[in-house]
Amino acid sequence: MAAPLTRSARSATLRPGQRSAVALFLTPFFAIFAAVTVAPICYAVWMSLFQERSSGLGFGGVSERTFAGFGNFTKALSEPGFVSSFLHVAAYCAFYIPVMIGSALALALLVDSTVARAKRFVQLVVFLPHAVPGMIAGIIWLYLYTPGLSPVLDWIQAVGGSWDFFSSGHAISSMVNMAAWQWIGYNAIIFFAALQAVPREVIEAATVDGAGGFRTAVQIKLPMIRSAVILTLLFTCIGVVQIFNEPKLLSARADSMGSNWSPIMYIFKAAFEKHDYGLAAAGSLVLALVAGVLSYIVTTIGNRWKAA
């Protein structure tokens, strides 16, 4: 005979009327999710299997769509520009992620410390750069990087220095500065919100035991907001793989970058300049696969860190 349901199990069981209400509220979400996520992915998969070929030896013949199988994927992965774009992004990640995450953590810990004053005002000031649209912020930084227009370069020259933001050696640092300026404050607010959930009793006990502010921040607060750090790191990695605004703007002035610096730039060029939509769809799916694998790696490492 089946064992009787416990009180918690009985309370978790839904009656027919409750099931209908749950289905009613969930239906709009699944409908929108299918329309804006599932359907575009399926369409991209379908497009990636075809190629546009024109008859008439290139003299204005009628284009014909032919089945290519995995031909578009092979073409994308065999082009050096597409493969090297992932290496460019990897180099950018190695520089950008430590700078952005480290600065956001430092700001959040500083605001959460007892020595900070006017915390609400500081939070507003820190978050304001994120309120500026990314493209507009990029244009502003491009102005600040341009010789003859930038007051920053004038100040550097006034002290006898020189700097070329568009040179091959400084292009990545210029992009890191543009992106970090916008996202440090946003992530600092996330970390600060997580710090508010840290029990004050634990911090007071550490203080009574003689732990200073720095030791308390590193050994008490930081381990207790691991989940927020891992979540932010996950979103950052996914966003960095799709970087477009910063390299697209800088590529107009930095000749060393080229038009295929990032995977998104390669896909953009394939779709809107070459009008090769099958190749663009294949590149998009490869990029999505890379982002998925990267998300899995970050999540796995993060779970091990939380369990440590």
Residue 144: both structure tokens together = 């600040």
What are the CA-CA distances from residue 224 to residues 204, 228, 232, 298 (Å)?
15, 9, 15, 18
pLDDT, mean of residues 123-130? 84
Check pLDDT > 70 for residue 84. Answer: yes
Domains and CATH numbers, the chain: 84-307 (1.10.3720.10)
Confidence of residue 125 (pLDDT cuts 50, 70, 90): confident
Confidence of residue 91 (pLDDT cuts 50, 70, 90): very high
Q: Is the Cα torsion angle 160, 182, 83, 258 positive or negative in sign? A: negative
CB atoms within 10 A of CB 166: 19
Share of the chain above pLDDT 90, in %: 34
pLDDT, mean of residues 54-74? 71
pLDDT, mean of residues 245-270? 88
pLDDT, mean of residues 29-53? 90
pLDDT for res 115? 58
Task: Give 133-173 pLDDT, tens digit per residue.
Answer: 888 988 899 889 988 888 888 888 888 888 888 888 888 99
